[in-house]
Each structure stands twice: as structure tokens, then as C-alpha cells.
Amino acid sequence: MEILCLGLSHHTAGLDLREKFAIPDGEIAAAATALSHAPGASEAVIVSTCNRVEFYLAAEQTADGFAAINQFLAARAAALEGDAFFRLPTEGTIRHLFRVVSGLDSMVLGETEILGQVKKAYAAASGGGATSRHLNKLFQRAFNVAKEVRTKTNITRGSVSVGSVAVELAEKIFGRLKHCKVMILGAGETAELTAGALHSRGVQSIFVANRSYDRAVTLADKMGGKAIHFEEWQRDFHDVDILIGSTSAPHHVLTTAQLAPIMHARPDRPLFCIDLAVPRDIDPGVAKLEGVYLYAMDELQQFADHSMNTRRQEVVVCEQMIERHAASFLEWLAGGWSAEGGRYRGPDPGDAPEGANS
Amino acid sequence: MDRLLLVTSTFCFLFGFAYTMHALGARVYKPSRLNFFAILTGFLFQTGFLYARGQMDGRCPLTSLFEVIIFLAWSMVLFYLLIGPTYRISLLGAFTSPLVFMLQVCALLLLKDVPVKSHAIPNAWLELHAALSVVAYGAFALASVAGVMYLAQERQLKTHHIHSIFYRLPSIHDLAVANHRLIITGFILLTAGLGAGFAIGNIFAHSALTRWSIGVWLLYGFILAAGLRHRISPRRVAWLSVLSFSVILLSLGGLNFISEKAAR
């Protein structure tokens, strides 16, 4: 039996082309079932996300399998054009799937959302009867590989965007954010994204102060916060835990002299300052005050870069793990079932395959 | 036989220490059951040692500095086992096992293990006083461990120099809470220990050990009062808890010398 994959991803095709071949969630199960019944095919799983559309097939002959996918796509969307589609034989398919679920093939290296998406695609195909022993084993093994890669390496470590870095730092200062009060000075795009990331973690309240009050109201409404006039931001500031500065003011909006008495009055309550403005809104001198944690755009970006570098350094280790599992799976595929109850013998004897939806 | 139990427990903490060093060195520290069970096993052997000593001495095994140090190490592990899982501060175990290991190694290698024989009938109040006080110091010791963790994490946040341990250490808020609660626990136990001591009467009230204990009680009382009145930052509380316990540890030897001299 051959296992093969035909697909396109953000590496090979632009959004226009990916959109053209994408299959909506509601149709995935039926499409996988239809493909598995196509002449030359015996099992099928279709993974369709915003960054990839991939068809995994088990077939007696590689050529017949690819022909089945071609016909399926031609009937459904359009004929395959150019070299946007990649075609992988058995060995390449196994390695590719293991890399995809481990986040190594993702646009953001190490992201974890793809694992859930592939699990969902597999569950849909499996529920529709489109999979059998070969793809069942392959996908279950892939989920085990993803789990091992994530727990034994640093491939998911740290945050890689400014918003998520801000959230991670806030959580390292305050623990849970549900009691935190956030104030945004200025309503720039990055400030909005950062505040949105904090809002998604359930911060207690958000104050938005902007020179254009209407813009402040719009942003505050979006996040269930409260808009305040820019001239009045200092009135509510003493009670704030996280300050996001993003105005276009040519001078510091918050100075050390302003902040020092406020921090003196609340020595046991830290303040996390996120300065996203250029020129800076917050006097760098405030970082010397006890209990004040100041991060400007450069530091947040450095933090994100550091996380990304850590992830990149882990790729080699991840690839080695994947290689080991791929070789073991190929061995199983060549030898068929083991003597003891048809169990897959992976490279790690203690690592039993997970359930389909785990 | 009893020393064998102690040596075995020391090896358990050495394992915890080595595991932590290895895991931190490999930059993939994960809270491990293996580490927890090593500490738990070490605790059981420690308990076995103290029980055997208690049987041998015919009283609470706090008759020499050697026994006091082991009792202190035991108290630290007791508090870790009680609060580590509760507050999900799993890395506390990683920081605790090195300190417990070093305390036990110092006791085994540097101190004379000669239980002080006394033919006097054990005084229940005195035993209660001694045991509660040392358990209280165990809580203060663990508070200082939480303090070290707080200072390490706070420094990384302040200076933006992020090491791999940053991702594994809890938030400074959680560490400050753990530190504060351990100081409260130690303070309550020490208060009870001193109360039990005063029930003995004049002999207790005029000893150097009592004055020292009252000094420690006042020190931690000050830290607590300042913290409760929100007049001191968690960073300073962390520093004070580390410094205070260092003073306790360093003065134990001198105090023991004075007590022994006074007893002669």
C-alpha cells in the first residue's frame, strides 16, 4: 500500500490560489469520503486551513492515487495549474505530515493551532468512513510525534508577536490577569492588538484615552472598556496595573516625576508599562522605580525574536525526532502488522498510539 | 542504622539536585514526578532517621546542632510537600532539594553527631517549644527559597535579560504570595513555640537561646507587619526573607556554642 499527499500551502501558493481549492469545514467529511471512493484510492483525509489544502491518500498505486486526486479536484474546483501543487510519495508524505502537525511547516514556526486543525480533519474523515488502518495508524502516529516534539523540545517556547509577548510578560508579573486594570493612551493599531490580546485573557477593565474621543469610544466599545478624555487620563491612572502608551505626542506623556509619588503610594502593587510609541510616550527613567516594568517596542520585539531564535535552534532536534519516527513508520508499513495483536511498534515502546481525537 | 537512613535521604536530595541541574542545563525544564518522588522518598528516610533518633534519645531528636539541622531540613521538605503542589510552584522543589542536600551534607561532614545524653525526665513544654521553633525555621527557610525565586524572576523582568528558567518560574505575584504565607506560617509556629517555652518558667526566660528566638520573632514580625500594612514592596520582603534566614543559619552554630558553654 502507498501513502501519498498532494497539496498546496503558503510556501507554494498565494492566498488567491489557496482560496480557490479550499474546502469549507462543513464539506470536509463528505469530500474525504467521496475521494476515498474514487477509483484507485482506498482511504483519504483532507486538511484544509487558511495556509494549506492537502489531500492524504492511501492507494495501491501511486500514479492511480494522484490521478484520483486530480480528477476529484478537476470536478470540484479546477484543473491543477503550474507548480503550486506538491506531490509527495510515501516516504515524503509521512515526513511531511509529521512536520505539519509539529508546527515545523507553519507560517509561524512552532504554532500549535495546526495540530487541532489536523485532528479535526482526521476526525471528520474517520467519522465519514474515509479512513482505515493505514491512514488511522499514520495520523495517530503523527499526533504522538507532535506531542513528543512539543514536550521534549522548545519548539513552542515563548511568544513571537508583540501582543502575545505583552500578555506573557503581564502573566509573569501578575499571574492571572482577571484583576488587572489596563489603560491605553492613544489608539494606534499595535496598541489595539496588544490590548486585544490582554482583553482575551480576561483583564478586569480597560480604559482608553485618546486625543480623538470618538476613536477612544470606538476602541473602548470593541473591548468592553471605558473611553476617557485624554486630558483626564491621570485621574484614573493611580489604579492601573498595565499602561500601554501609543500616542503621537512629541514628548514623554508619563515622566518619572509624575510616576514616582504614585508608585510610592502603592509599593506592593507593580506597574507594567508597554511603550509602543515612537517617539516614546514613557520616560525610560521610570524603569528605575521599584515595581515598574517598562518595555518599549524594541524590547518587545527582541523578546519575540529571542523566542523565535529559540524555536529555530530546536528545529534540528525536532527533525531528528521526526526522522526517527518516519523510519519506524516506514518499517511498519513495509512489514505490515506486528505479531502481537496488530499493534504498531513505534521507536519508543512505552509510547502507545493515541486515540483518534486525542 | 539511623545514619544510613540519613545518608540515603541525602542521596535522594542529591538526585533531585542533579536532575534540576541537568534539566536546566538542557533548557527544557519540566516539572517532573521523578523529582517529586525523589524528594518524597528523601522525606520518608529523613522521617525514619528522626524517629530512630527519637527512640534512641528517648526524647525529641533536638539534642545537638547535628539533629537540629536535620530536623530543620525535614521541616523544609515538609512545607514543600504541603505547599508545593497546593500553589503549583513545582520549581520550588527544584530549589529546595539543593538547599536540603547541602544542609544534610554539611551536617554529616562537618558536625559532630554526638547526641547529648541527659538523665533528666524530658520536659513536654521544652520539647514542644524546640520542635515548634525548628519547624517554624523550616517555614522561614522555604520562604527564603521562594524569595530567591522571586528575586531571580524579578531581575529578569526588570533587566529584560531572559534565561530559559524564566519560562518555568511562576509569576512574581505567585511567588510573593507564597513567600508571605510561609512567613505567616513560620511566625505563628514560632509564636506558639515561644509560648510553650515561657510555660517552663525562669530557666527559659533568661537563656541566650530565648533572647535569640525573640530577636528572630521580632524580625519576622516586622516583615509581616510592614507587608500587611502595604508599606513595603514584595521585592524588599523577598530580600528580607533571604537575609533573615541566612542570619538564622549562620548564627545557629554560634548559638549552639554559647548554649553548650552555658550548659557546662
Q: Where are the domains positioned within chain B?
A: 1-112, 122-264
A266 touches chain B (CB under 8 A): yes
Q: What is the DSSP string of A177-212?
A: STT-EEEEES--HHHHHHHHHHHHTT-SEEEEEESS
Give the gap in angstroms from C-alpha B211 to the nearest C-alpha of chain A: 32
Burial B201-230 (b: 16+ CB within 10 A, else e): eeebeebebbebbeebbebbeebbebbeee
Instruction: Give the range of the structural domain holding residue A92, as residue numbers without chain letter.
Output: 2-152
Q: Does the structure show a pLDDT above 50 at B250?
A: yes
Mean pLDDT of all residues in chain A? 88
Q: Using alpha carbons only, what angle is made at residue A11 by residues A6 and A15, rounded to the nearest 5 degrees?
A: 90
Say yes or no: A88 and A221 in one domain.
Answer: no
Residue A347 lies in a domain: no
pTM exceeds 0.90 for this model: no
For the residues B166-181, what does the mean pLDDT come to?
88
* Statement to judge: residues A37 and A71 lie in one domain: yes
Closest-CA distance, B123 to chain A, in angstroms, reads 44
The answer as to whether A299 is a domain residue is yes
CA closest to B158 among chain A residues: A293
pLDDT bucket at A341, cuts 50 / 70 / 90: very low
Confidence label for B200 from pLDDT (cuts 50, 70 and 90): confident
Beta-carbon separation of A175 and B170 below 8 A: yes
- For residue A102, the one-letter residue type is S
Check whether residue A181 and residue A264 sit in a common domain: yes
Report which DSSP code applies to A342: T
Give yes or no for residue A335 having a pLDDT over 50: yes
Residue B54: pLDDT over 90: no
What pLDDT shows up at residue A358?
30
Residue A346 lies inside a defined structural domain of this protein? no
Which residue in A98, A96, A133 sits closest to A8, CA to CA?
A96
- Interface contact B172-A173, CB threshold 8 A: yes
For chain A, positions 322-351, list CB contacts with chain B under 8 A: none
H helix intervals, chain A: 15-21, 25-36, 62-76, 90-101, 113-127, 133-152, 162-174, 189-200, 213-222, 233-237, 256-265, 297-335
Given a contact cutoff of 8 angstroms between Cβ atoms, the answer to whether A276 and A197 are in contact is no
- Tell whether the torsion through CA atoms of B199, B203, B206 and B212 is positive or negative: negative
Which B residues 177-236 touch A at CB under 8 Å? 227, 230-235
Catalytic member of A50, A180, A273, A318: A50
Give the rounded distance of the alpha carbon of B53 from its chain centre.
20
Closest CA relative to residue B244, chosen from B264, B261, B229, B224 = B224
At B59, the amino acid letter reads R
CB contact under 8 A, B173 and A173: yes
More confident residue, A20 or B237: B237
On the question of pLDDT at A337 being above 60, the answer is no
**Nearest-angstrom CA–CA distance, B80 and B86:** 9
Region of residue A342 (phi > 0: left; psi between -120 and 50: alpha; otherwise: beta): left
Q: Which of A268, A275, A288, A297 is best to mutate for the B interface (most B CBs within 10 A)?
A: A268
pLDDT of residue A332 exceeding 60: yes
Return the number of CB contacts < 8 Å for A and B: 51
Measured between beta carbons, the chain A residues lying within 8 angstroms of B28 are 152-154
What is the percent of chain A with per-residue pLDDT over 70, rounded to a whole number? 92
Residues of chain A found within 8 Å of residue B233, distances taken between Cβ atoms = 267-268, 290-291
My answer on whether A216 and A135 are in the same domain is: no
Q: Inspect the interface and report whether the beta carbons of B160 and A302 lie closer than 8 Å.
A: yes
A216 and A136 in one domain? Answer: no
Work out the average pLDDT over A215-223. 91
Active site residue A50: yes
Q: Which cell numbers in the block locate residue A126?
A: 474517520
Q: Could you say which of A92, A120, A152 is where a domain stops?
A: A152
Indicate the number of domains in chain A.
2
Q: What is the CATH number of the domain that holds A292?
A: 3.40.50.720
Residue B258, min C-alpha distance to chain A (Å): 40
As a whole number, mean pLDDT of residues B66-73 equals 88
Instruction: Count CB-CB contacts under 10 A for residue A224.
Output: 9
Report, as an integer, the average pLDDT of A78-93: 84
Is 60 exceeded by the pLDDT of residue A186? yes
Q: Which of A103, A133, A152 is the last residue of a domain?
A: A152
> What are the start-end ranges of the H helices in B26-90?
33-57, 65-83
Does residue A16 sit in the same domain as residue A146? yes
- Count other C-beta atoms under 10 Å from residue B167's C-beta: 17
CB-based contact (8 Å) between A171 and chain B?
Answer: yes
Q: How far is A336 from chain B (nearest CA, A)?
A: 36
Q: What does DSSP say about strands A181-185 and A2-9: parallel, antiparallel, or unpaired? A: unpaired
Return the SS3 of A57: strand
Which residue in chain A is spatially nearest to B26 when comparing CA positions? A153
B162–A306 CB contact, under 8 Å: yes
Query: Whole-angstrom Cα distance, residue A155 to residue A106?
Result: 12
Position A287 in a domain: yes
Whose CA is closest to A247, among A215, A211, A218, A301? A211
Mean pLDDT for A16-44 is: 90
Encode pLDDT of A35-79 as tens digits: 999 998 999 999 999 889 999 999 999 999 999 998 888 887 776
Which of these three, A122, A152, A182, is where a domain ends?
Answer: A152
pLDDT band at B99 (very low <50, low <70, confident <90, very high): confident
Subunit contact A173:B30, Cβ cutoff 8 A: no
Mean pLDDT of A99-118: 93
Task: Please name which of B258, B237, B195, B190 lies closest in space to residue B218, comparing C-alpha atoms.
Answer: B190
Please report residues of A whose CB lies closer than 8 A to that of B160: 295, 299, 302-303
A230 class by beta-carbon count within 10 Å (0-12 exposed, 13-18 middle, 19+ buried): middle
For A40: left if phi > 0, alpha if psi spans -120 to 50, otherwise beta; the answer is left
- Max intra-chain CA distance, chain A: 78
With a CB cutoff of 8 Å and minimum separation 6, the contacts of B33 are none
Percentages helix, strand, coil for chain A (3-state, rounded to 5) are 50, 15, 35
Verify that A50 and A175 share a domain, yes or no: no
Burial class (CB in 10 A: 0-12, 13-18, 19+), A18: buried
A301/B contact by beta carbon, under 8 A: no
CA nearest to B230 within chain A? A268
Q: Which residues from chain B sit within 8 angstroms of residue A303, using beta carbons?
A: 160, 162
Q: Quick check: A320 pLDDT over 90?
A: yes
Q: What is the pLDDT of residues B201-216, one digit of tens each?
A: 766 666 777 788 888 9
- CATH number of the domain to which A7 belongs: 3.30.460.30
Interface contact A21, partner B, CB < 8 A: no
The architecture in CATH of the region B122-264 reads Up-down Bundle (1.20)
Nearest to B162 among A266, A267, A303 (CB): A303
- At B82, the pLDDT band (50, 70, 90 cuts) reads confident
Give the least confident one: B71-80, B95-104, B164-173, B249-258. B249-258
ipTM: 0.80
Cis-peptide into B170, omega within 30 deg = no
3-state DSSP assignment of residue B3: helix
What mean pLDDT is predicted for residues B127-145? 88
CB atoms within 10 A of CB B148: 18
Task: Judge whether A268 is closer than 8 Å to chain B, CB to CB.
Answer: yes
